[in-house]
Amino acid sequence: MAVKEATVREALGMQRAREELCLEAEEFEVALQTGEVRTAPAVGGRRRVVREDVDRLREEEGFPDRLRARLELVGSIEGAALIGISRERFTRLAKGGFLRPVRWYVNRYRAVVWLYLAEDVRRFARAQPALLEGRLPAALRDALDEGEDRRARGWRARRVEELVRDAEDAWAEASAWSALLGPEAAADAVPDERERAHLRRLCPALPAGSTGSYATRELIEAQTVASHPDEVTFAHVSLADALLRARAAGPAPYPERATPAAAAVRSASPPPCAEPPPAPPPPVSRSRWRRLLGLG
């Protein structure tokens, strides 16, 4: 579950925390997403960075280079070079589910480009050296020949894990599983309209991050909504479990009355599952990070 509500003295604003950690805006977003830096709810609905995490990271040996290395993102070409294999082999291993993407975007050719944590790639190479050379296992080759591709499913699993990790209560946890199922499946799983409305307010869709200007609604939905039967079944079971715990704690609240004051609060406070607002980057030339994310 999420960190307890932060007081002013034990938490920092997003930009202040990013500056103290010597991170670029995109690096800081990855740190928040992966849990390298934790946030906690604060007064007014905003989230703030846990002071303890900033102090711990600053005291690490090799700061900030070691921290930035853990947050480095690589595509298939860079990832393959990192562990000394071909790009084709790297892609086949990723499709087989051995590497889970942390982000993705759509390039100008309307193709989805997957990004991985460099540290995950190194860890995989250390744990599975036999997969770096020679023929891949027969079962894996057969699955890939039949069209197996677990990259989107792996990203979704990782994203939901992050949302559940940061959930403030069982309702917020349920909203992550509901978002994974998509509106139609979620409507079947949650027949109560008030509960569905509350889950949508908390997390209307699985946050995709910086998908690039070429991403269409259909492409985004194809990556963010569960599609594999096993994935859908697990999401249904997890949603049912979270709802049991949520209902035991109390009913879903009624929507706020549509007054100007309530509207102002809602507009100032994004849903808990929304992407954290990026801190304004310093006025520097285009960085490698922006090229990776297709924003350059």
Each residue's pLDDT tens digit, 263-281: 444 444 456 676 655 444 4
Per-residue DSSP letter, 50:
E
Q: Give the mean pLDDT of 198-213.
A: 92
Would you state the pLDDT for residue 284?
Answer: 40
Would you state the pLDDT for residue 255?
Answer: 76
Distance CA 191, CA 169 (A): 21
Would you state the pLDDT for residue 4?
Answer: 54
Q: Give the mean pLDDT of 234-249.
A: 98
What is the tens place of the pLDDT at every residue in 17-45? 999 999 999 999 999 999 999 998 877 66
Rounded to two decimals, what is the model's pTM?
0.85
Average pLDDT along the chain: 87
Q: Does residue 55 carry a pLDDT above 80?
A: yes
For residue 204, cis peptide bond before it (omega within 30 degrees of 0)? no
More confident residue, 283 or 2: 2
Would you state the pLDDT for residue 45?
Answer: 66
Q: From residue 84, how far is each of 80, 88, 117, 122, 230 by CA, in Å?
A: 6, 12, 16, 11, 33
Q: Give the mean pLDDT of 64-79.
A: 97
Closest residue by Cα to residue 24 from 283, 273, 295: 283
C-alpha 7: how far from chain center:
26
Would you state the pLDDT for residue 257?
Answer: 52
Would you state the pLDDT for residue 210?
Answer: 85
Among 56-60, 251-255, 259-263, which stretch is predicted with the lowest mean pLDDT? 259-263
Q: Give the mean pLDDT of 77-89.
A: 98
What is the tens place of the pLDDT at every residue in 100-154? 999 999 999 999 999 999 999 999 999 999 999 999 999 999 999 999 999 999 9
Closest residue by Cα to residue 69 from 29, 20, 122: 122
Would you state the pLDDT for residue 61?
Answer: 96
SS3 call for 48? strand
Q: State how beta strands 112-117 and 73-74 pair.
A: antiparallel
Would you state the pLDDT for residue 134?
Answer: 96
What is the tens place of the pLDDT at every residue in 170-184? 999 999 999 999 999
Distance CA 170, CA 155 (A): 22
Among 198-202, 241-245, 289-293, which stretch is predicted with the lowest mean pLDDT? 289-293
Closest residue by Cα to residue 278 from 261, 293, 288, 265: 293
Q: Give the mean pLDDT of 204-228.
A: 93
